[in-house]
Structure 1
Amino acid sequence: MSQFTIEDLKRIMRACAGEDESVDLDGDIGELTFDQLGYDSLALLETASRVQRELRVALPDEALGDVETPAQFVAFVNGRLLETAA
């Protein structure tokens, strides 16, 4: 995988924590907060763990504390992938 996308994140979010019936993950979720999407910090950590396993990239827990939206998460993962490839 050359780049992690919002679609990749949606797939993993559904697999890890399911989907809150009041939230449509098929919509434009990039700028919504994880709280607005019904994903708490535990769900986010589980999502990050799955991303780490699938992509073989380290996502430090302390850095995830600053990630509030799916768009930020995708950018963070892609930044880590670039660092790993360098």
Structure 2
Amino acid sequence: MSGIYTILIPDELLSRRNIALKYFSSDQVFNELVNGEVTREVIYASMNVARKRKYAEREKLFADALARFDEYRKEKTK
């Protein structure tokens, strides 16, 4: 019985650690915000994670996309 646990636990841990980058440009993030495929809160959270992990380029990517999206919404409501 103990052999089952030693086989299953590593597979479970590996699946939790698979990290995939979804966004590669601020244009991509902006377009997904405009299309409603992602919320502003999710992007803001991603920006904060990038800030905490000291990924300055990714933080800037999200900040630029959010600034553009805020400007877009401001112009759209006029």
Using structure 1 for the length normalisation, give the TM-score. Answer: 0.31
Using structure 2 for the length normalisation, give the TM-score. Answer: 0.33
Q: Which has the higher helix share?
A: 2
Structure with max Cα Rg? 2
